[in-house]
Chain A
């Protein structure tokens, strides 16, 4: 599909200045902020002015901001994100070390939310006049109002404090011990997924109700097809297209949600790294993490566009 790839390439060219604007904005604002001087955090209040000045020179903070930014961009060209101010390590490996937990958390939450949302969306549309359908609609209404960190606490209280199932639930990387890993990720994934399960259920419900009004559904019914076939083969396939957008657009919010869910469950993820780095003014880490997050957002938005073309052959990229 060459037209599609041309389209993707054009979109990426448009997005480069946007991502550059984001990185420059954060670069500039953090360095000009009141109390934005990281030497204060690195050296404590006992440091003399001379020591602080030396540290600023060592970190390259005494140069004009635009020069610092140009240097950062130049290094980025060779995939070097710089060195953390606070930890004795490069930003790249620091991010890479934290990425698996966040990726796993968001992936698990997405899969979990979809596993709930697709059947629930179909059921709340088809069985909307049954008591169970109404109860499920009410549950989705509640689901979109629950703060994920509070749900996390509630789950810790029920499963950890009351049932005592979380005695051995410290985070273990997936390759080390997959059983223990899944055990430690289950509750965080549920906390993060709840909102999306509810929100996507509502989305699919709406799309399906609209799809069921179309003439092609009536034709399918008139042909004598079973209700199940009409709903699942004809209406659902059309209703699922707008849902792809909903899922794709949720990626940034899920990453943001991961920041707080990781804090509740003490997971060593990107979100926690970012919020810690922001508080300790570790600029290189903040820069790198924000770049990674915005890249993920951009990639997901492109993926949605491409998926559109695959799912709906009527869409042309021109």
Chain B
């Protein structure tokens, strides 16, 4: 992953737009006050449910708070929860995958994979709902843990599969015969071979976590007030859909755009870092070459685990 490969992409219109959007999201999350003169939590009883005007571009909610300002401040909540949940699931999933893969075939592997299977067969939102209810929704940490758990299984399986292949490589055998400790072998020789797929997976996981957080908040189990949250704005605005549609519909647009940016970035990174998964994209660009088809991943065997 070198800067040399990234710069030409940033020079293309879509790459440039994507970079600008990511920059905007980052600045909005760190310094939302740069874009809005209003206080996101201050209540103005006299300007309840005002339609969009130049003063309030996206109108005001029932408490008279500026909707655009709340969306901007909500970026911080969304990205904080999203990035934390992805980091947590990445760390836990990678650790489990490394252990299960390195000691593949042992009782440890078997036990860990059963645990991963159990996490995998519970739908992510159902898992998140249950975990938030158990840990209590009043703490932001429980929302992060709940959303992270849904992604641990995918990381663990991905890393385990990679490690199972890598551990048979000669350089790993060499490191082992030179007396390298397990920790050193995993950290220096195995882990660097997995980071490409993990980066791609993480960016795509971020979009799914953002959607999950919004869904939890919409059900009333996400971030609690006064922290601004897009999902809760949707929930609160839902009852005024007939009279003041901007309150509910604008935060949804923000969620949509944020997820769109993540998905685009994920696709772009996959093309750059994980050429095997991007084979179809190449096939599309070079329709007459059969090479892409021959390098396509092998047929999936039914004995998937």
- Tell me the B90-142 residues at the A interface (CB within 8 Å): 114-115, 117-118, 121-126, 129-131, 133-136
Report the bound CA distance from A19 to B207 in whole Å.
28
Report the bound CA distance from A153 to B215 in whole Å.
13
Which one of A145, A279, A298 lies within 8 Å of B260 (CB-CB)? A145
B214 at the interface (CB under 8 A from A): yes
Task: Answer whether A30 and B134 are a contact pair too, CB < 8 Å, given A18-B117, A242-B300.
Answer: yes
Report the bound CA distance from A259 to B124 in whole Å.
11
CB distance B241 to A156 under 8 Å? Answer: yes
Binds A, one of B17-25, B39-47, B248-256, B268-276: B248-256
Report the bound CA distance from A25 to B283 in whole Å.
45
Contacts of B249 in A (CB 8 A): 150, 153-154, 157
Contacts of B302 in A (CB 8 A): 7, 305, 308-309, 315, 317
CB distance B241 to A255 under 8 Å? Answer: no
CB distance A297 to B300 under 8 Å? Answer: no
Q: List chain B positions with a Cβ less than 8 A from chain A.
A: 114-115, 117-118, 121-126, 129-131, 133-136, 207, 211, 214-215, 218-221, 234, 238, 241-242, 245, 248-249, 252, 255-256, 259-260, 263-264, 279-280, 283-284, 289-290, 292-293, 296, 299-302, 304
Task: Answer whether A153 and B284 are a contact pair too, CB < 8 Å, given A142-B260, A245-B300, A255-B126.
Answer: no
CB distance A19 to B263 under 8 Å? Answer: no
CB distance A210 to B279 under 8 Å? Answer: yes
Q: List 13 A-B contacts (CB under 8 A).
A: A25-B118, A33-B135, A128-B284, A145-B256, A145-B260, A150-B234, A210-B280, A213-B290, A252-B124, A259-B125, A259-B219, A274-B129, A297-B123
Report the bound CA distance from A51 to B126 in whole Å.
32
Binds B, one of A89-97, A107-115, A286-294: A286-294
Contacts of B114 in A (CB 8 A): 17-18, 21
Q: List chain A positions with a Cβ less than 8 A from chain B.
A: 7, 15, 17-19, 21-22, 25-26, 29-30, 33-36, 128, 141-142, 144-147, 149-150, 153-154, 156-157, 160-161, 206, 209-210, 213-215, 242, 245, 252-253, 255-257, 259-260, 263-264, 274-275, 278-279, 281, 286, 290, 293-294, 297-298, 305, 308-309, 312, 314-315, 317
CB distance B221 to A274 under 8 Å? Answer: no
Contacts A7-B302, A145-B207 given; 7 further ones with Cβ under 8 A? A142-B260, A147-B211, A147-B214, A150-B255, A161-B245, A213-B293, A255-B126
